[in-house]
Chains A and B, each alone.
Chain A
Amino acid sequence: MLYNNTATHIRRELLVKVASMAFRGTLTKEIDRIPFEMIPKEKPSIRCCIHHDRVVIKYRLMAMLGFALEKESDELRPLSSYAEEALDRVQVEDPVLTVIDEACSACVQSHYFVTNACRGCVARPCVWNCPKKAIQMIHGQARIDASLCVNCGLCQKVCPYHAIVKVPIPCEEACPVGAISKSPQGKEQIDFSQCIYCGKCMNECPFGAIVERSQILDVIRALQSNKPVIALVAPAMVGQFPGEYPQLVSALRALGFHQVYEVAHGADETIVREAKELVERIHSGETFMTTSCCPAYTRCVGIHVPELKPYISTTKSPMLYAAEKARQENSESLLVFIGPCVAKKGEALQSGMVDYVLNTEELGALLVAKEIDIPHCEPALILNTPSACARAFPIVGNVSQAVGKKVRELAAELEVKPFVVDGMDRQNIKLLRQMVKTKPEGNLVEVMACQGGCVAGPAVINKPVAAAKKIEDWIRKGTLQIKETEPVKVHS
């Protein structure tokens, strides 16, 4: 589905409203008004009536305050009371996604359906090809008997009039691991023991019923506290906002971050360690190793493909190395990772290394709330520049390229053959399952849960192609900067 749609717009508008109120300190006073402001009675409703629309807005706001909607116990409890609780919270918690059951339209079970375009032709390829004899001609048109149909889709393929359509359940279809299914009431629910936090369902649900539990309030409170707050900025962020990266750094400082670290520095550490590890593994007779930087992939292996686990590099992700370094230098600080990813929220919680995670949209909302316009920011001077290879991590293929290049420096006799798994859909997860038995066509397997890499993450605001180009342009420009400032080794 297109990133820009009404569901996305509502979400982003709400984030800005919540952030503005939180910065002003008026959240508990004003938040109960938002559903009424957003859905005024004089405007037509989106769903059945404005009251339904308003209650869905209320649930969206609860998730933005960080609550798991599954745990709601008192429907009468106002948002202001949730806001109060959120403002007192000391710790954020798992799971990072939640389902708004009021927003879920309880889509009918995925099925094939014969439309009125059926001409009741003489050839009747649908009847001939149906392996379950589930199609009959009734009143001159084909009809599928749902009790016999096995959803194979053959009838749809062979109909000369394209009269048969598949009516899907978009979230279930998007989930590569079958973690979403219907409750007895017909609403979708996520089984978090199976969910890999890839975030695909969130973007595919046309009702916007699956949402992230936001940590914006926790971040705003951190920024308003006396503690220094450090932003760990994922390399993917270079391609997300207008203006250039040094302007984004200034914008983050204007927002109240004391320091801004490029996670690409952590990626440089990942490259070196992963290269050494690959050399060791190959020397000890192993046939392949996979990358470890994508948290949705490692979570997926842990839950769904445990036999592949020994092949994942034990090297940590760039985020964790960056966090280690930031902690070493300033143990009192709070660390906020900023990226386009849902699964990083899970990784941050599980590692305990990063305090909070903001996604692209959430950071955008904080900037808009504070009226900070990135293109108007004075570019910050970036003195310590990570390598071009590290900055290129968010574009698919570049992680294995970077590690391969480093291996050639360490052990020229070793041949590194990268094999890239671009996007974790059902088919590629099958491929991962076979990998242990059949061995991949390479010895360094890079896996990215999002097709195209992090530039196509679930919480991006720029188009992946445009974002990738922007990152490449910046790398070209940024590498020129290295030559001017290389002798100085200070963190920006």
Chain B
Amino acid sequence: MELLKNARNIHVVICSGTTCYLMGASELFGIEKVLEESLASRINLEGSPCMNLCKGGSYGKAPFVKVNDTLISTATIPKVVEEIRRQASL
């Protein structure tokens, strides 16, 4: 259990397609700086090419972020931080 708590097992994927970027995805890459060290060391942050979530509107609006399997639309730093915290406390 202790091992699991220290692992980098929270996978944060920021969609970096043109739509998400236009709607502010670039700012979301600053998320590591606002997380405390104990959480920052647990996330694995990466950008992804367009995940095709912006087409059609059925997933909400850009920018999109995935925290493990949870999809966040109209993502902001506070929204993503909240989800990371939730998953870290599981």
- B interface list, Cβ under 8 A from A: 16-19, 21-27, 29-30, 47, 49-50, 54-55, 61, 74, 76
Contact = CB atoms under 8 A, between A and B. Distances in A.
Nearest first, the 8 closest Cβ-Cβ pairs linking A and B are: A364-B22, A4-B24, A242-B16, A462-B26, A373-B50, A375-B49, A368-B19, A242-B21
Interface of A: 2-4, 8-9, 12-13, 16, 241-242, 251, 361, 364-365, 367-368, 371-376, 461-463, 466
B27 A463 contact: yes
A228 B26 CA distance: 33
A144 to B, nearest CB: 35
A12 B25 CA distance: 13
16 contacts: A4-B27, A4-B76, A9-B24, A9-B74, A242-B17, A242-B47, A364-B18, A368-B19, A373-B18, A373-B19, A375-B16, A375-B18, A376-B50, A461-B21, A462-B26, A463-B27
Contacts of A462: 21, 26
Nearest to A8: B24
Given A373-B50, A375-B49, A376-B50, A242 B18 contact: yes
B47 A12 contact: no
B50 A361 contact: no
B24 A372 contact: no
A242 B30 CA distance: 15
Nearest to B48: A375
Given A375-B49, A466-B29, A12 B22 contact: yes
B51 to A, nearest CB: 10
A463 B29 CA distance: 10
Given A242-B17, A375-B17, A368 B50 contact: no
A12 B23 contact: yes
Nearest to B17: A373
A16 B55 CA distance: 13
B43 to A, nearest CB: 18
B24 A3 contact: yes
A257 to B, nearest CB: 16
A100 B20 CA distance: 27
B49 A373 contact: yes
A371 B23 CA distance: 14
A374 B26 contact: no
Contacts of A2: 27
A431 to B, nearest CB: 32
Give the one of B24, B26, B27, B74 with max A CB within 10 A: B26
B22 A461 contact: yes
B39 to A, nearest CB: 21
Contacts of B25: 242
A241 B25 CA distance: 10
Contacts of B17: 242, 373, 375
Contacts of A371: 55
Contact of A364 (B21, B50, B54): B21
Residue from B16, B23, B55, B61 with most neighbouring chain A CB atoms (10 Å): B23
Contacts of A9: 23-24, 74
B26 A463 contact: yes
